[in-house]
Amino acid sequence: MNFDNSQLKLHSSVDHSQHALCEIIADRIAASPHRRITFSEYMDMALYHPKHGYYSTKAVNLGQQGDFFTSVHLGGEFGELLMVQFLQMWEIMGRPVPFSLVEMGAGQGFLALDILKSIQQNSDFFKALNYIIVEKSSALRQEQQQRLQEFPVSWCDLEEIPSNSIVGCFFSNELVDAFPVHQFILKDEQLQEIYVTTSTDGEENKVSASSSRPTPSFVEVSGEPSTIQLTQYLDLVGINALSAYPDGFRSEINLAALHWLGIVANRLQRGYVLTIDYGYSASRYYNPRRSQGTLQCYYQHQRHNNPYINVGRQDITTHVDFTALERWGQSCGIDKVGFTQQGLFLMALGLGERLAMLSYTEQPTFQLLRRRDSLHQLLDPLGLGGFGVLVQNKGLTKTETIQPLKGLIVPDQT
């Protein structure tokens, strides 16, 4: 791929930790067959290396002033409205005790805080609640533990949850877009995988401030797919007419999302899976016109598409293929309840009423105007409001299944 970042100021100087991370990646490449690793392995180390990865260090910079922000950073409403949906799920299921909410990828813990404060207002629900956080980054886990110390929350890895044990809801906001992905490119109608190797071009290698050795830098090479699962994935989502695609078409495949969903389905005994993220159906995701995929990097408010700079200092993300989650979920025993857009979902849960209340105020203050602006951002169909919301379920009775979830009810247009 040609990374044209000439308009952007994207290079930070290389610090000790970044230099160390590049050396670790280069060592992994040197030890690998053909001296190359899959893009997915590269992305996993850049984001989640336990010591130097983006999400593992203090470099992780989320929020309005950070590299990027999510719905969670726009105030408490997002969590409060999600709580309305969780409360109804609990009621539909006959108020089980305990009712587990398993938040996966909880960032700084703000969403958990908003949800827990809101549930606290309903003492029956609060007493029934078992709140679990699954968080890969130990730095963020520590921040969550500090922020949530007043609340009965427990932390664990997804794999540690016993099979068939959770009665409640697994949920996530912008988790799946943060999973490492495989990248592919089409050459003569054949699928080739994109690998990462070290650059031998001296120009590319910068000398780190803390080491006399040049910091390794990375380039792409393509080759035979590392696993048959890449073509199996495309079959799953119905993308098999590769002749319809232009030569050089490239995109991503999120095998980690299928692996994750398989574990979630296995751990859920009875209840729901709620996934909020930006993304599309497979037919839009793999539209021949979207010929360069969806990978984006975020570094100090700037968005660009070069994952080989600012290694360990920038977020790398891709859109979510919701068709894959639906179809893979089905094969793992979780059924689609519905799919909607975040804007519609939040409106159905009461965001419209909140906006109307703010509009009745005669003398709007600066804070009030800001709050109104935040709510509009949650709804904006070209921004957060256009995110996908997928709900799946497992193990519910027929009577429970047919009860419409509030967030999925489409307002009457007449």
Ligand X SMILES: C[S@@+](CC[C@H](N)C(=O)[O-])C[C@H]1O[C@@H](n2cnc3c(N)ncnc32)[C@H](O)[C@@H]1O
Taking the complex as a whole, the smallest distance from the CB of residue 235 to ligand X amounts, in Å, to 25
Taking the complex as a whole, the smallest distance from the CB of residue 35 to ligand X amounts, in Å, to 27
Taking the complex as a whole, the smallest distance from the CB of residue 107 to ligand X amounts, in Å, to 3
Q: Which of residues 66-85 bind ligand X (CB under 6 A)?
A: 70, 72
DSSP state, residue 344: H
Of 53, 107, 271, 307, the one binding ligand X by CB under 6 A: 107
Taking the complex as a whole, the smallest distance from the CB of residue 59 to ligand X amounts, in Å, to 12
Contact 324, 184 (CB under 8 A): no
Q: Which of residues 60 and 191 has its CB atom nearest to ligand X in the complex? A: 60
Peptide bond into 152 cis (omega under 30): no
Distance between CA atoms of residues 388 and 257, nearest Å: 15
Q: Is the dihedral of CA 244, 246, 248, 253 positive or negative?
A: negative
With CA atoms as reference, report the closest residue to 328 among 284, 275, 289.
275
Q: Which of residues 136 and 371 has its CB atom nearest to ligand X in the complex? A: 136
Q: Which stretch binds ligand X (CB under 6 A): 101-109, 148-156, 306-314, 328-336?
A: 101-109
Q: Which stretch binds ligand X (CB under 6 A): 4-12, 99-107, 198-206, 289-297?
A: 99-107
Taking the complex as a whole, the smallest distance from the CB of residue 296 to ligand X amounts, in Å, to 12
Q: Which of residues 256 and 408 has its CB atom nearest to ligand X in the complex? A: 256
The structure tokens listed for 76 are 């408490």
Q: Which of residues 186 and 253 has its CB atom nearest to ligand X in the complex? A: 253
Query: Which residue's Cβ has the minimum distance to ligand X?
Result: 105
**Residue with tokens 């009577």, as numbered in its chain:** 399
**Residue with tokens 């886990």, as numbered in its chain:** 141
Residues ≥6 apart with Cβ < 8 Å to 299: 10, 12, 67, 310, 313, 314, 315
106 binds ligand X (CB under 6 A): yes
Of 29, 37, 38, 55, the one binding ligand X by CB under 6 A: 55
Q: Which stretch binds ligand X (CB under 6 A): 98-106, 211-219, 241-249, 335-343?
A: 98-106
Q: Which CB contacts under 8 angstroms, 24+ apart, belong to 153-161?
A: 153/112, 153/116, 154/130, 156/132, 158/104, 158/134, 158/260, 158/263, 158/264, 158/267, 159/263, 161/102, 161/132, 161/267
> In the stretch 123-152, what mask flags binding to ligand X with x, by CB under 6 A?
-----------xxxx--x------------
Taking the complex as a whole, the smallest distance from the CB of residue 164 to ligand X amounts, in Å, to 20
Of 104, 237, 268, 325, the one binding ligand X by CB under 6 A: 104
Taking the complex as a whole, the smallest distance from the CB of residue 314 to ligand X amounts, in Å, to 12
Taking the complex as a whole, the smallest distance from the CB of residue 194 to ligand X amounts, in Å, to 21
> In the stretch 160-199, what mask flags binding to ligand X with x, by CB under 6 A?
-------------xxx--xx--------------------
Distance between CA atoms of residues 65 and 300, nearest Å: 8
DSSP state, residue 83: H
Q: How far apart are the first and last CA of the chain?
A: 49
Q: Which of residues 197 and 296 has its CB atom nearest to ligand X in the complex? A: 296
Taking the complex as a whole, the smallest distance from the CB of residue 56 to ligand X amounts, in Å, to 8
Cα distances (Å, whole numbers) of residue 253 to 102, 108, 170, 277, 343: 25, 27, 23, 16, 27
Computed on alpha carbons and rounded to an integer, the radius of gyration of the chain in Å comes to: 22
Q: Which residues of the chain form contacts with ligand X (CB under 6 A)?
A: 55, 62, 70, 72, 104-107, 111, 134-137, 140, 173-175, 178-179
